A and B are shown apart, each in its own frame.
Chain A
Amino acid sequence: SQQGEEDPQALSIQEGENATMNCSYKTSINNLQWYRQNSGRGLVHLILIRSNEREKHSGRLRVTLDTSKKSSSLLITASRAADTASYFCATVLTGGGNKLTFGTGTQLKVEL
């Protein structure tokens, strides 16, 4: 079963705009990770945020984590057509080894 939900399910924006995706989860976590998937292929790791962190940046990506609300958001700034993909959050529970529990995903389409 999935840990939580992502919203929106789908997002369509123009190139240059910012894209924000939200992820909610159900139980206490060790860390939360974001992944990107292009056209049903393998997933690519984007960023990892630990439960004691509130915000993290990597290039055009900004991730926030609110453990009190059990939610996270991924912001992609200045989107490009190449950012078109599905984005998934995944949680790791304390003592859960490397098991990832994925959210439902957000399909992002960036149009020229």
Chain B
Amino acid sequence: KAGVTQTPRYLIKTRGQQVTLSCSPISGHRSVSWYQQTPGQGLQFLFEYFSETQRNKGNFPGRFSGRQFSNSRSEMNVSTLELGDSALYLCASSQAGQGAQAFFGQGTRLTVV
């Protein structure tokens, strides 16, 4: 079974631009979550999508948004990039339910210059 696939792996963007990151979950998993990891703030939850609906949302500004498609693939978008958005963005997929084990992708390393 293929794992969680995130694309692209690395990205360099200029302040003020926007970016879209993609995540393909494990086949059969309907829950996709996104996390931001930085040296200063650690691992922070962004949002969770389940069957195309946002089920949970973290404390991030509205510049951070996401969506999930009918095939469970998910995208997250960050608009008006700031230097502080530089981070490793991790996607995780889980089977349906509460508190299931999460399977993480390798992440997208975003650098904002």
Q: A residues touching B (Cβ–Cβ < 8 Å)? A: 1-2, 30-31, 33, 35, 40-45, 48, 88, 90, 92, 94-102, 104-105
Contact = CB atoms under 8 A, between A and B. Distances in A.
B100 interface: yes
B81 interface: no
Contacts, number: 82
A46 B97 CA distance: 19
A2 B42 contact: yes
Given A97-B48, A99-B45, A102-B42, A45 B99 contact: no
B90 A43 contact: yes
Interface in B17-56: 31, 33, 35, 37, 42-45, 48, 50, 55-56
Given A97-B31, A99-B45, A44 B101 contact: no
Contacts of A98: 31, 33, 48, 50, 56, 92, 94, 97-100, 102
Q: Is the interface of B mostly helix, strand, loop or mixed?
A: strand
Given A96-B56, A97-B50, A30 B43 contact: no
A24 B43 CA distance: 16
A98 B101 CA distance: 8
Contacts of B86: none
Contact of B43 (A41, A88, A96): A88
Contacts of B102: 33, 35, 43, 45, 98, 100
B87 to A, nearest CB: 10
Contacts of B92: 43, 98, 100
